[in-house]
Amino acid sequence: MAEYFCGMGEWAVGQAGDILCARGLGSCIGLVLIDNKKRIAAMAHVMLPSSNGRSDMPTKYADSAVTFLLEQLRKNGSSMDISSKMAGGAKMFNVSESSLLDIGRRNAEALENSLREAGIILVSKDVGGSFARTVTFDVMKRRFLVKTIGRGEVEI
């Protein structure tokens, strides 16, 4: 059993017994892709909505994270029957909803588009608000926990 921490723009793949974690998610999003048949999952700590053609850190960007995580799951023996969950995407600055500076909203929208394009169901999400989150995913139990200071812990 191991705990894998995903820092900003980082990713991890876990098997039964492993815990995947992303801390301090403000406008960033913790995305987990879950194999529905095998005990394997992949997590990314997504920072920005668009890579603008950059390929150096694919899980840093919402438009490339899903495809990259799917490749990693395939390499690790996934059945490729995949679902997803995500949390984060807070509005950390006082900007209008339509503002390009509302990175949290833009991250969530871009990830939902990428998931839709890949044919992956988004089972649940906890996005928005103005508070940071920490997420953990227990691969064996398939539990996605979202912790928020002052709001406690919820499973989504």
User: Tens of pLDDT along 77-119?
Assistant: 999 999 999 999 998 776 655 566 789 999 999 999 999 999 9
The SS3 of residue 91 is: coil
Cβ-contact 133, 88 below 8 angstroms: yes
Q: Mind listing the pLDDT tens digit for each residue in 122-140?
A: 999 999 999 999 999 999 9
pTM: 0.94
Residues 6+ apart with CB under 8 A from 26: 88, 90, 92, 104, 132
Tokens describing residue 141 = 């139990």
Confidence (pLDDT) at 1 = 77
Average pLDDT, the chain: 94
Q: Is 52 left (phi over 0), alpha (psi -120 to 50) or beta?
A: left
Q: Of residues 149 and 33, which shows the higher confidence score?
A: 33
The percentage of residues in the chain with a pLDDT greater than 90, rounded to a whole number, is 87
Confidence (pLDDT) at 145 = 98
Establish whether 6 is a catalytic residue.
no
The residue ranges of every structural domain in the chain are 3-155
Q: Mind listing the pLDDT tens digit for each residue in 52-81?
A: 989 899 999 999 999 999 999 999 999 999
Confidence (pLDDT) at 96 = 58
**Considering 6, 13, 20, 28, which one is annotated as catalytic?**
28
- C-alpha R_g of the chain: 14
**CATH top-level class for 3-155?**
alpha beta
Length of the chain: 156
Cβ-contact 124, 85 below 8 angstroms: yes
Confidence (pLDDT) at 101 = 76
Confidence (pLDDT) at 41 = 98
Confidence (pLDDT) at 97 = 58
